[in-house]
Amino acid sequence: MLELHPQILKKDGKNEFVVLPFEEFVQMEEKLADYEDLRALRAAKQEERDAPTLSLAEIKAELGF
């Protein structure tokens, strides 16, 4: 789980910016990238669900292993 320690900066009494420790920012970027990769993988699997497939044994035979 990602634990954040944000510092909120105000402007005219309203929340305007959030500052994070750099390491937390990097962790957040990595988690977002992982999530985007997961979404892309799920979309690709959905698009290819009806595509023809070969078993490992069929591929090995085709390649002569």
Residue-wise pLDDT for 17-34, tens only, equals 999 999 999 999 999 999
Whether pTM > 0.85 for this model: the answer is no
Judge whether 25 lies within some domain: yes
Judge whether 50 lies within some domain: yes
Domain count, the chain: 1
Residue type for position 15: N
pLDDT tier at 1, thresholds 50, 70, 90: confident
Closest CA to 7 of 25, 20, 22: 20
Judge whether 34 lies within some domain: yes
Supply the range of the domain harboring residue 30. 7-63
Judge whether 1 lies within some domain: no
Judge whether 2 lies within some domain: no
